[in-house]
Structure 1
Amino acid sequence: MAESAVELPTERTPGRPFDPPAELSDLSGRAPLTPLHFPDGHEGWLATGYTAVRRVLADPRFSNRGELQHSPFPEHAGMTAPPAQPGDFLKMDPPEHTRYRKLLAGKFTTRRMAQLTEQVDLIAAEHLDAMQRHGGPVDLVAAYALPIPAMVICELLGVPYADRERFQADAAQLLGPNTTPAGKYKAFEALSAYVRGLITAKRADPTDDVLSELTAGDLTVDELAAMGGLLLAAGLDTTANMIALGTFALLRHPDQWAALRTDPHLVGPAVEELMRYLTIVPTLARVALEDVELDGHLVKAGSTVVLAMAAANRDATKFPDPHTLDLRRDPAGHVGFGHGPHLCLGQQLARVEMRVALPALAARFPGLRLAVPADDVVLREGADIHGVTTLPVTW
């Protein structure tokens, strides 16, 4: 019997902060593609099964353009996103998306990102030293998880050392849990203005960094600023939340924390398993550009398909015992970084940062523990990126 339309489940089970809403996991096993009712009245689809999600992400008949999408979230009902600005290729389709992405792809290769390992080591050690001097408790987000990707982005963009403290302060303000909307806007404007000024400086006096290489081409300042903004948004918030939420998950699974601390061979697999288990970008969306047959259903042109990424990464047909965090698992094929033409461009950079940050933290503070009850850790509820607002820890 065909499933009746559902509304997007968003409530996580109390006491289970790392699991997707239980209704999503139930649908994944029973109806991997389900009719979805949207708050604005649109009738689309919800993909919860691993195979359905991967097919949509890889199929060029599905668009990622924001202005075509209907939002499944009530707070966005009736709101239409504007078309992507030049350079903001994340919400573009080929060939525009391909043209911009190619300009950056060679700058984020596995080899080039691996060359950053030593620098990430130094950044992590510097902040671990500061934590040790301060003594516990500390907020791991502010003291460690956010500064590492912020400083790495400074390296990539070629932010002069004299400006890095200001740059990091604006980034912390933009992503801070207690920042007002007005404060976030002010921080965003400050960062945007800084990036534009940096572009002008790089054109006049290029250095060895990604932004200098981009300014050597024929991109406009608007395009460069948009691409720089994407690097900031994609490289800061996601990795910071993976480090913080990953630490929270490991501390809630002491056997896995001990395994990471004692077995260096587990570092690579641990990052992949945490990406699968946590899936910090829980949903994506695509729009059918034409009628598409999918999983035995007809998805009509113009229909928005919401992709429950967290549910797909917990699909038992792909990952046995999917709700268990197991650093010795081989989670190959997980969709924590997406899939298809929009596969996360910075995935190798994120891997380098997590492969350094998590074991370095475990080695420095083997007795690391939460400084508050686990149920008191405040989650980023309703955010596009799942994580914690703060993570008080001690040792």
Structure 2
Amino acid sequence: MPRGYALDPAPTYARLRRERPVTQVALPSGQKAWLVTSYAHVRALVTDPRISSDHTHPNLPMLAPLRPEDIDTPHEPVNTLVGLDPPEHSAPRRSVIAEFTVRRIQEMRPRIQEIVDGCVDELIAAGPGSDLVSTVAVSVPSQVLSELLGVNPPDREFFHVRASKMLGRTTSPQERRTAMMELAIFINGLLIEKDREPTDDLLGRLIVNNRETKVFTHQGLLHMAYLLLVAGNETTANMISLGTTGLLENPHVLAELKADPSLIGRTVEELLRYFTISDVLVRVAKEDIEIEGATIRANDGVLLCLGSANRDETIFEDPDKLDIHRGTRHHMAFGYGIHQCLGQNLARAELEIVFTTLFARLPNLRLAKPLAELPFKFDSNTYGLHELPVQW
């Protein structure tokens, strides 16, 4: 469903919320699925035990057509943490959740600040007209995650380059697949190394704990590490670029934030709600479900539209307005329920530090191109910007 304006979700969502909040739609893959657009129904179904997150289910909605190379190269579908249902989901999540507590992230803040300062230095050194995506948006989460996972300093450039390729505008599908494979091979080697000599970092601690709990196989550890890398990198990178754009396009809001930096927490929450870069959650019904006059049959695909739920006018007053005084944390940008984003505290810390530092050091920061000329990721399941040229 096309967006009418780059900073807003598809206008069709508002009409569906009013007229048919639970409706069947056709997907580019040729499948049919139920699209759920209202906040109340999305929140209800995301915690409904009759709805499955199983990513190996043959009826799981596919948001893009299957490519020829996927058909020609058959592989066994694999479930990571986000694709597990209870009770299988509980133990793996417990194994890693302690790494992302508010206290643990608070301890990381000084190092995150150092990383952000270095990235802003790079942006300034590149000069006016340089790209904020490559210098700051992609680089910050890549560096933070490499330290969190315990990537050795000499290997971090390899790590960063592959992460950048996966998000790059000019990267071909084959190059992206190659970068993903190289990262998987790299992480596998990292796990083998840490299994021989455990280190005091997320992966090292996970390996040591797993010797007692036996929660993960080696392959399970590999999938967990890769999930943390991909999920924590692309989403935060996109939020940095979109959040910066949103603030620059709303100068009255940015002026308020500059005048009162203590508003940064509320500002980040509102930007998360406003953009909701991960638009939909894909699910499958395990049983028949009657909802809003519709019958979702067992094995039907379901799309829970977070982007629409976070613009629901029955929940958020004047939802299309960027309002940093809204003070809400009941948005669903991080999902909801047992699959709510593990790394949300880390993402909040990175966003708060980036926006505070960026606008303090570059108070005259502005877009180097009109909004209409910016290369938004209209064709991506995770919304963002390919490039963001800025000047000051």
TM-score (norm 1): 0.92
Q: What amino acid does structure 2 have at the position aligned with 1:34?
A: T
- Residue in structure 2 matched with residue 384 of structure 1 by the alignment: 381
Q: Secondary structure at the match of 1:45?
A: strand
- Residue in structure 1 matched with residue 43 of structure 2 by the alignment: 54
- Residue in structure 2 matched with residue 127 of structure 1 by the alignment: 119
Please state how far the C-alpha of 1:122 moved relative to its aligned partner.
0.4
- Residue in structure 2 matched with residue 299 of structure 1 by the alignment: 296
Q: What amino acid does structure 2 have at the position aligned with 1:227?
A: M
Tell me how far apart the structure 2 counterparts of residues 204 and 191 of structure 1 sit (CA, whole Å): 20
- Residue in structure 2 matched with residue 283 of structure 1 by the alignment: 280
Tell me how far apart the structure 1 counterparts of residues 242 and 206 of structure 2 sit (CA, whole Å): 33
Tell me how far apart the structure 2 counterparts of residues 331 and 33 of structure 1 sit (CA, whole Å): 25
Please state how far the C-alpha of 1:300 moved relative to its aligned partner.
1.7
Post-superposition CA distance 1:144-176 (Å, at most 9, x none): 011110011011111111111221112112221
Task: Provide the aligned C-alpha RMSD in A.
Answer: 2.0
Q: Secondary structure at the match of 2:100?
A: coil
- CA 1:99 to 1:364, structure 2 compared with 1: closer, same or farther past 3 Å? same
- Residue in structure 2 matched with residue 85 of structure 1 by the alignment: 78
**Where in structure 2 are the equivalents of 1:370-381 lying within 5 Å?**
370-381=367-378
Please state how far the C-alpha of 1:337 moved relative to its aligned partner.
0.4
Please state how far the C-alpha of 1:93 moved relative to its aligned partner.
1.2
Q: Secondary structure at the match of 2:25?
A: strand
Contact 2:30 2:65 in 1 (8 A): no
For 1:23, which of 8, 12, 37 is the aligned residue? 12
How many percent identity over aligned positions?
Answer: 38
Most deviating of 293-302 and 226-235: 293-302
**Where in structure 2 are the equivalents of 1:111-260 lying within 5 Å?**
111-216=103-208, 217=210, 218=214, 219-260=216-257
Please state how far the C-alpha of 1:66 moved relative to its aligned partner.
2.2
Tell me how far apart the structure 1 counterparts of residues 276 and 75 of structure 2 sit (CA, whole Å): 27
The aligned length equals: 383
Q: What amino acid does structure 2 have at the position aligned with 1:35?
A: Q
Tell me how far apart the structure 2 counterparts of residues 380 and 17 of structure 1 sit (CA, whole Å): 9
Most deviating of 312-321 and 183-192: 183-192
- CA 1:135 to 1:39, structure 2 compared with 1: closer, same or farther past 3 Å? closer
Contact 1:260 1:362 in 2 (8 A): no
- CA 1:190 to 1:37, structure 2 compared with 1: closer, same or farther past 3 Å? closer
Please state how far the C-alpha of 1:96 moved relative to its aligned partner.
1.6
Most deviating of 72-81 and 279-288: 72-81
Tell me how far apart the structure 2 counterparts of residues 315 and 226 of structure 1 sit (CA, whole Å): 35
Please state how far the C-alpha of 1:183 moved relative to its aligned partner.
1.2
- Residue in structure 2 matched with residue 6 of structure 1 by the alignment: none
- Residue in structure 2 matched with residue 5 of structure 1 by the alignment: none
Post-superposition CA distance 1:176-211 (Å, at most 9, x none): 111111211221122111111111111222221110
Tell me how far apart the structure 2 counterparts of residues 381 and 42 of structure 1 sit (CA, whole Å): 21
Q: Secondary structure at the match of 2:34?
A: strand
Q: Secondary structure at the match of 1:51?
A: helix
Q: Secondary structure at the match of 2:324?
A: coil
- CA 1:83 to 1:92, structure 2 compared with 1: closer, same or farther past 3 Å? farther
- CA 1:178 to 1:33, structure 2 compared with 1: closer, same or farther past 3 Å? same
**Where in structure 2 are the equivalents of 1:321-336 lying within 5 Å?**
321-336=318-333
Post-superposition CA distance 1:116-164 (Å, at most 9, x none): 1111100001111222223211110001011110011011111111111
Matched, 1:75 2:65: yes
Q: What amino acid does structure 2 have at the position aligned with 1:283?
A: V
Most deviating of 265-274 and 326-335: 326-335
Most deviating of 348-357 and 175-184: 175-184
Structure 2, unaligned stretches of length 5 or more? none
- CA 1:225 to 1:53, structure 2 compared with 1: closer, same or farther past 3 Å? same
Please state how far the C-alpha of 1:91 moved relative to its aligned partner.
1.3
Matched, 1:105 2:97: yes
Please state how far the C-alpha of 1:72 moved relative to its aligned partner.
6.1
Q: Secondary structure at the match of 2:56?
A: helix
**Where in structure 2 are the equivalents of 1:267-282 lying within 5 Å?**
267-282=264-279
Structure 1, unaligned stretches of length 5 or more? 1-9
Tell me how far apart the structure 2 counterparts of residues 237 and 74 of structure 1 sit (CA, whole Å): 18
- CA 1:43 to 1:142, structure 2 compared with 1: closer, same or farther past 3 Å? closer
Q: Secondary structure at the match of 1:75?
A: coil
Contact 1:84 1:91 in 2 (8 A): no
Please state how far the C-alpha of 1:293 moved relative to its aligned partner.
2.4
Most deviating of 276-285 and 41-50: 41-50
Tell me how far apart the structure 1 counterparts of residues 84 and 255 of structure 2 sit (CA, whole Å): 43
TM-score (norm 2): 0.93
